[in-house]
Amino acid sequence: MKQFFYLLAVSTVLLASCTQAFKKSDKGMQYKLISDGKGKVIQNGNFFEIQYEQTYEGAGLTNKKDSSLLDSRKFGNQIATMDSAGMPPAYYKIFSQVRKGDSIIVKQLVDSIMKEGSQTPPFMKKGGNLVAYYKIVNIFTSKEAADSAYKVQMEQKKVKDSINSIGQLKKDDKTISDYLAAKNIKATKTEKGTYVEILQEGTGVKVTDSVGVKMKYTGKSFDGKAFDSNVDSQFNHMELLPVNMWAPRVIPGWVEGLRMLSKGTKARFYIPSSLGYGSQGQMPAIKPDENLIFDVEVVEVTDKKTAMADEMAMQQKMMQQQQAMQQMQQKMKGAQGQGQPQPQH
Give just the sign of the alpha carbon dihedral 262, 266, 272, 275. Answer: positive
Which of the pair, 293 or 169, is modelled with greater confidence? Answer: 293
Ranked by mean pLDDT, the top range of 14-28, 36-50, 178-192 is 178-192
Between residues 5 and 171, which one has the greater pLDDT? Answer: 171
Residue 277 annotated among the catalytic residues of the structure: yes
The residue-averaged pLDDT of 105-109 equals 90
Residue 125, burial from CB neighbour count under 10 angstroms (0-12, 13-18, 19+) = middle
227 is catalytic: yes
What pLDDT sits at residue 18? Answer: 53
pLDDT > 90 fraction of the chain, expressed in percent and rounded: 48
Please state the rounded mean pLDDT for residues 183-208.
Answer: 95
What confidence score (pLDDT) does residue 332 get? 76
Catalytic annotation, pick one of 133, 270, 294, 295: 294
- Name every residue whose Cβ is closer than 8 Å to that of residue 343 and which is 6 or more positions away in sequence: none
One-letter amino acid identity for 244?
A: N
Q: Quick check: pTM over 0.85?
A: no
Among the listed residues 104, 251, 271, 293, the single catalytic one is 251
Helix count and strand count (H, E) for the chain: 7, 14
CA atoms within 13 A of residue 92's CA, in its CB half-sphere: 13
Question: Which residue among 217, 269, 286, 295 is the active-site one?
Answer: 217
**At residue 257, does pLDDT exceed 80?**
yes
pLDDT in tens, 26-71: 777 899 999 988 899 999 999 999 999 988 887 666 555 557 778 8
Counting beta carbons within 10 angstroms of the beta carbon of residue 279, is it exposed (0 to 12), middle (13 to 18) or buried (19 or more)?
A: middle
User: Which residue among 277, 286, 293, 295 is the active-site one?
Assistant: 277
**Which domains occur in the chain, in start order?**
2-141 (3.10.50.40), 172-306 (3.10.50.40)
Burial of 176 (0-12, 13-18, 19+ CB in 10 A): buried
Q: 99 or 320: whose pLDDT is higher?
A: 99
Annotation says 294 is catalytic: yes
Give the active site residue among 173, 227, 235, 310: 227
251 a catalytic residue: yes
Task: Please check the confidence at residue 13 and state whether its pLDDT lies above 60.
Answer: no
Q: Which of 71, 161, 173, 228 is catalytic?
A: 228
CA atoms within 13 A on the CB side of 24: 2
* Between 106 and 1, the higher pLDDT residue: 106
138 has pLDDT over 90: yes
> Residue 140 catalytic?
no
Given a cut of 50, whether residue 236 has pLDDT beyond it is yes
Tell me the C-alpha distance between 213 and 140, whole Å: 47
- Of 48-62, 100-114, 188-202, give the lowest mean pLDDT range: 48-62
Between 280 and 40, the more confident residue is 40
DSSP per residue over 313-341, as a string? HHHHHHHHHHHHHHHHHHHHHHHHHHTSP
Tell me: the pLDDT tens digits for 202-229?
988 899 999 999 999 999 999 999 999 9
Annotation marks residue 217 as catalytic: yes
Residue type, 151: K
